[in-house]
Amino acid sequence: MRRDYDGGTIGDMLREIGNIGCGNALNALSSLTDESYEIKIPEIELIDCAEVFTRLDGIEQMYVSIVINMMGDINGKYVLLLNPPLACSLIKALGLGDAGDISDIPAESKSAILEVGNISCGSCITAVSTFTGMDMNVTIPSSAVDMLGSVLSQPILQFAESDPDILYIRCDFSMASDPAKSGIMLVLPEMASVDRLIERFGAFLK
Amino acid sequence: MAKILIVDDAVFMRNVIRNILQNAGYTDLVEAEDGVVAIEKYKADRPDLVLLDITMPRMDGYQTLKELLNYDSDAKVIMCTAVGQQRNIAAMIEAGACEYIVKPFNASKMILTIERQLEA
């Protein structure tokens, strides 16, 4: 049965961990690209993994995705979704010139996009690991350019193979100088990891 | 020992900060769950230092900082947030914050920052 932590101290803890993870990931992105980003307050809720698709608007819009598996004491997925204008802008900010057709980006630009995912995810998990004292590792990132529903299918449906309940942490962001350049960060730990966090912070949850 | 006002909308986070402060010997602590309550408690308790979260309901940290400094221009306020982009840090320091701690904070660094401000 799904647990509902909204409003309680456990909800506070999960929101704080989400804020710290997403905030630090965006801090890293900001340093990497020398740009400021507007960040919406992260949305944090326990949901069935299939609900991810219904919660995201524009499921048919094109996105560049970077997916990284989180492992260790906290298992789950880190997904960075960049709309094409933002992806092109990041590639340019990293000194690789105009990306051109985003669905057919050169290998060097693709490598830069993977690095953006690596650095933002690394910053996110370093911050969460420091805060929680829990051990976290990541896999090599993978990227795709496709409709939102397609890029999310494989990573999200992998949750359904075990426990479909996940912690949904979503942070929408956009470039401060041009709000049309936007992205979505999803941090999706498995429920067993949430249980470990509750155990870890038990003393502070009263 | 100095009196410290902890302002954060998350009970959990206030518990974590209180624990760090108590372990360092700070026991005279006041807590507030948003900016409006923080200003009331600042006026009533006159703390030596304020640890102020930025993203809060009713009144955010930036507005609270301005209100506190309006009331007491000598107020010592340390901002605590996960959003540590240079632009945000510059805005808070320009508005009068003493320091800016980016979460997750290391307990010993946090105490050093507090001690530095209390001695200033």
Most A CBs within 10 Å, among B6, B8, B11, B31, to test the A interface: B11
Report which secondary-structure segment, H or E, holds A79: strand A76-82
Residue among B11, B55, B84 whose CB faces A27 most closely: B84
Q: How far is B46 from chain A (nearest CA, A)?
A: 27
Coil, strand or helix: which one is A155? helix
Using alpha carbons only, what angle is made at residue B11 by residues A191 and B89, rounded to the nearest 5 degrees? Answer: 95
B3 or A112: whose pLDDT is higher?
B3
d(CA A106, CA A92): 13
Cβ contact A188:A168 at 8 Å: yes
Q: What is the pLDDT of residue A186?
A: 95
Report the phi/psi class of residue B99: left, alpha or beta, with left for phi > 0 and alpha for psi in -120 to 50: beta
Question: How many residues comprise chain A?
Answer: 206
Place of tokens 């624990």: B19
Q: Report pTM.
A: 0.83
Chain B contact for A23 (CB, 8 A cutoff): yes
Chain A neighbors of B86, CB-CB under 8 A: 30, 36
Contact state of A127 with B13 under an 8 Å Cβ cutoff: no
Handedness of CA A77, B80, B21, A8 (dihedral sign): negative
Q: Quick one: pLDDT band at residue A150, thresholds 50, 70, 90?
A: very high
Interface residues on B facing A, Cβ-Cβ cutoff 8 A: 10-13, 15-16, 19, 55, 81-87, 102-104, 106
Mean pLDDT throughout A22-35? 90
Report which secondary-structure segment, H or E, holds B28: none
Place of tokens 């260790």: A72
DSSP B90: H
% of chain B with per-residue pLDDT over 70: 99
DSSP B59: S
Contact state of B82 with A19 under an 8 Å Cβ cutoff: yes
Contact state of A12 with B87 under an 8 Å Cβ cutoff: no
Label residue A114 exposed, middle or buried (CB < 10 Å: 0-12, 13-18, 19+): middle
Mean pLDDT throughout A11-20? 90
Residue A137 pLDDT more than 90? no
ipTM exceeding 0.90?
A: no
DSSP B98: S
The pLDDT tens digits of the residues spanning B66-80 come to 999 999 999 999 998
Q: What is the pLDDT of residue A1?
A: 41
Label residue A157 exposed, middle or buried (CB < 10 Å: 0-12, 13-18, 19+): middle
Contact state of B12 with A16 under an 8 Å Cβ cutoff: yes
Contact state of A131 with B104 under an 8 Å Cβ cutoff: yes
Beta-bridge partners for A174: A38, A182
Main-chain dihedrals φ then ψ at residue A69, nearest 5 degrees: -85, 135
Q: What is the pLDDT of residue B71?
A: 97
